[in-house]
Structure 1
Amino acid sequence: MPHANSGRESIPAPDLQIVFNSLSGNYLLLQPNPPLFTILAVSDEQLRITGYERHEVVGKSIFEAYPVNPETDSTTGPSSLRASLENALSNKVLDQMPMVRYDLINAAGEFEERYWKASNKPVLDAEGNVLYILHSPAEITEQVVAERKAAAMREIEKKYSLFMQAPVAVCIVTGLEHIVELANEEILSILGKTSEIIGKPLFESLPETASQGFRELLDQVRDVGQPFYATEYPVTLIKDGKEVLRYYNFVYQPYYANAGDTVAAGVFSVAHDVTEQVLARRKVEESEQQLRSFIESSHHPIGVYFGSEMRIQFANQALKDGLGKGNDIVGKLYKDVLPELENQQVFEQLETVYKTGVPFQAKNHKLDLVVGGELRTHYFDFSFTPLFNTAGEVYGVINTGADVTELNLAQKRLEESDARFRNMIKQAPVAIAFTWGDDMVIENVNAPMLHMMGRESADEVNGKKLVEALPEVEGQAVLEVVRQVLHTGKAISANEQLVHLLKNGKVEPHYLDLSYTPLMEEGEVSGVIHVAQDVTEQVQARKKIEQSARDLQNLADAMPQIVWIAKPDGTVTYYNKRVSEFSGARQQPDGSWHWESILIEEDEQRTLDTWNEAVQACTPYEIEHRLRMSDGSYRWHLSRALPQFDSNGRVTGWFGTATDVHERKEQQEALEEKNRHLVSINNDLDNFIYTASHDLKAPILNIEGLLALLFDEHTAADLRSTETQAILKRMKSSVERFKKTIDSLTEVAKLQQENVFNTEQVHVAEVIEEVMLDLAHLLKSSEAVVDVQVAPDTAIRFSSKNLRSIVYNLLSNAIKYHATNRTPHVQISCQLVGKYHVLTFADNGLGMTPSQREGLFTMFKRFHDHVEGTGIGLYMVKKVVENADGKIEVESKVNVGTTFRIYLPV
């Protein structure tokens, strides 16, 4: 164990250090070495709360790491901490500190007011010596501040509760800076401020009043100790960014902080907004003599309502017409005449004016009125002015107003139109700006124009002269063009105008399509509309294309093929040099080429027809034809052309080539001649097989007859000879096989000649049923199970005879080559797969080895001798399927079974 006074060497082992750092809570592990109390370890939570890094505190005295705030006279924090640490060390007991203030330095390097509760616990060894002191602080700053604020608010509310609830505007300011100590809701409402002004200098929150003599008035009342009274005092305030003139009745009274003070601490003020009364009275005074005649003749609605129930005492015709309630409204209650105004605040406003004597005015006020039996929206400028009797009591209200519905709607339409216009300019995809006067002052610049100018904000250019906002255009042609438009009043446009503009700190060349249109006011040009489109990329791209075209032409001239270009109508406008080298053809004076002269006469019409058909159908053009060389001979060429389309699908031109294929063409013709020769040989072989099989039938029939006679003429004794019987039977069997072979050869010869066979709609299920009837004896004797999974309406367009042959051969083979140790099972199905009808025959028979499958469709090939056959059936099936552009797939496994899939085109 490290000794208690061993300094930094007493830092816990690294593993314990990590555990200590990770403790959930605020902890400092201190060395018991007064007066320093060196910090040996600190938890992560403590670092987070204090905002320190570990290396800033570990190894330092706790009073060095957390120094005393020199600007505060409170030393209870450090002194209380030291006393607590010494008590824990000397008495070896847990010491609980009371709440103390101990300020910390924040990230800005300034002391920040902080409050804590803490405990100091000695850590003892086995002998009772103090090894460490565990300092555990808990911050309660937020709690203390909240309690102080709450206490302050309770004190203020207790002290000023009467004033805060007063229905008049009350305010107290103190000190030379007139700090706002109290402001009730009424005064805040009048000033258009929030409670945030409390605690701040009055003229900091209301700078506009400082120049209106209020500072001097407040100073006088505070210094002299005499109150100041004002009636209908004019005050200009800033509300919603606008100056507003209001009138107030107010009193400034010296404010003494404590009873018995002889020097005022500030000023206590009570104010009442009488603007409406002042304005109303002045209006009445100005028009009193003309009021009655004005009411009678006014085109604006005017009404007079008496009593708290607001009975209509007088209503001029304009009011009657405006309300649309008829001419008999006088004498009726206002709310009965206009029940639809319920919940539109009008009744409440009338009642307020009557009770308070304060006039009410409204501008552009929306009201829903029933006129002509229909509820419609109207807008009014109106006022409710109280009528006073000689005793100063309100006995009625004058209602004046003007229907500004049309004006309101017109104003809205104008605002909407202006907004649409400005929005249109703002959202226009092209650059737009306005300049006014000979100085060309810029206004209404949209984002594309700002981008073109290389400026980020409209404030950089709006209100400035063109040459001030864009000094780089000084001396360029565009300025002279704008002046010309201003002086002549004629629009000017320019395409791909070169203008040098400052962008990204560099003056760079740009190509612009420009349009300058004069703005006319009363026949005079007042400004210019600038519309611009940056076509720099297009110009540069066109130049690149032009260069690319030159490069492509050079490339085309170097190609061994003839390369050509044509217009959408097929007129050839370009050939590479190869055409002149090959044929000697030349371009016509009009730019076209008389390419037909290159063709030999036999191919000319065929080529023209093919080319015209491709041009009219807008499809690729391809033809093999002979082109004449300059020496009069010809060579075969493959000519191809592809149409080029624009974004709307219209043909913009044709690109074509003519490739020399003379050697290939000669080879192809030689190959075709050989094919014709081979076809002739095959036909001769087929005829030979057919003739031979026909000619051999007669001798075989004769031999068969002679064998029959031989059987009849032999004596019974001869027939008893076993050897003779065997020889005769073998001779008869050989004759039978010979006959079957001849029949098979005849069938093969017929099949070879069947290049096209008649097709019809054949129902597959019906064909299978017919074949099963023909094989009924074989099915019964073998006890075979045939599972037909073919829908009755499944039909294939095929030769009925050939489909029956396919089904017969595959089904009979599946039964004949069955495994003797299990019942034969055949599954037949037909499905549509892609562009094929797939006819499937799956059995559980003997199966085949891979080597057997290789020769499966060979003529006269047989793999089993225990079953009769010629080995011609599967060969004929394959031939029929392939003649119909179909295919066959076979899967087989010995002693498991075989699956045939016949693919017949749809």
Structure 2
Amino acid sequence: MPVPSETSHQKSNLPFIQGGGEMGELIRHFNWDNVCIGPPGQWPLSLRITIGNLLNSAFPMFLFWGSELTCFYNDAFRPSLGIDGKHPAIGKKGKEVWPEIWNFIGPLIEGVMTTGKPVWFEDQLVPFYRNGRMEDIYWTFSYSAVVGDDGTIQGVLVVCTETTEKVLNLKKLHESESQFRNMVAQAPVAIAFTLGEDLVVESVNTPMISAMRKTSESEIVGKTLLQVLPELEGQAILEIVRNVLRTGESFKGFAVPIKFLIDGQLQDEYFDLSYTPIIEEGRISGVLHLAIKVTEQVMSRKKLEESEAYLQHRVEERTRELANANKELQRSNSQLEEFAHAASHDLKEPIRKIHFFTDRLKNQLSDKMSPEDMRMFGRVEHASQRMNSLIDDLLLYSHVSQRPHEKKTIDLNEKMKRLLEDLELDIAEKAAVITIGELPVIQGHPRQLQQLFQNLLTNALKYSRADVAPHIEITAKLVSGTRHDLLPDKRYHLIIVSDNGIGFEQEQAEKIFQMFHRLHGKTEYEGTGVGLAIARKVAENHGGKLTAQSEPGKGAIFNLYLPVE
């Protein structure tokens, strides 16, 4: 005889389907008369317990139950079905709900129902129909057996989370890394990376393959520098590279001779060279090699010097050389600025994407993540922020590397007043006391000088002693170039910036102006290691210089010399 339908009052007296949000409401009002498992009041205890746990879980869950694999799911799973798609699927047969992926999930369900063994997948592509169209959707999920009242397997519980954004984010990050490698490969300057004490070549671009007198990357990559060029043994250039790796001090050289084995004989080739240490996690891991072959220019110059007409043509040729060099420098500066802008955009794009996707993932998963997961998210955010600051500083350094063509009259008193307004929050946070004497009016580039003084002040604020309010003093006076290792026939404004911070060993006084050189770890003091390099470059651009004096625990004094014009 037919089983009578349950009334709303009867359903309301079933505690396991009380609450449960939108899905609980659907289950309570669904007509179960035509479903093989019958109305909720007749459901076995095992199903009731499973449904109760499912409805009250904050983690996405889906249940297949009984011979027809009747479908249940909770509010946490509901958003995964989209707006225009499969919802509502409560009470429907599994094969009817998921026809487009049944050839994949059907065997999984059957296997779990038959063997009782759970299955687990990570970042698995399972496309299905939602939001009015087929979508590629990635999941991390597990299928596990649910045992009925009689001890046999009656259902399969799916615990899952959608990882589409994470997978797409990683794909875009890999694409960005590939774009960066392509940019290096296409650079007009010869570039190579070596790793470790043995100087194993990790990568090279086409100009470097040619500079090493090789024909393919396979002859170089994965081998030590000496395996690629055994003739370097005993040459000064090899010791220079090793010294960069050992000390962390960069090297730049012009028209540097290197002997290559050519047709069985050692012959000199000449290069403009730059070697920069690669620092990872505070440790020097390798060396970045940049090279421009200038053999033809050097040989041409030597022949000219040897010619009998050298003295007669010296002034004329020198004038032409300087004019050509100036044109070449202007062209190189323009190319450098274009390259820096392109590199800044290409490198910042993945950083912006990382910020966007980590924010979205945190917002969606923060209540489900463990403290360790949150810590890892924090590390990703901190690393991307630091990378963003480094890119900004490198772009700024490329700008200040160019000497200003036009100078303006600048009242440093007004410049300093505006700078203190810009740093008002930092100064207040540190409770810093800043004393400024009478400063001169000079000729210079406003933006570059703004950056110089800003870097000196932020440096003094940053490296203050714990529990000691920073006291920064800025004074100025006129000095003779003769007494300060400058042009003897000129006078200079000496601007002194002193503080009472942590200080440093005097032997480090030159190293602090090197690109990326840091006396302290990233965890102690934030920064990119570029600020003081920018400050010195600006001083040099204005025909002056920047030096430092210090002792540990006794603060630091920065001496800025700018010519009187």
Q: TM-score, normalised by structure 1?
A: 0.26
Which structure features the higher share of helix residues? 2
Q: TM-score, normalised by structure 2?
A: 0.39
Q: Which structure has more RCO (C-alpha within 8 Å, separation ≥ 6)? A: 2
Which structure features the higher share of strand residues? 1
Larger Cα-atom Rg: 1
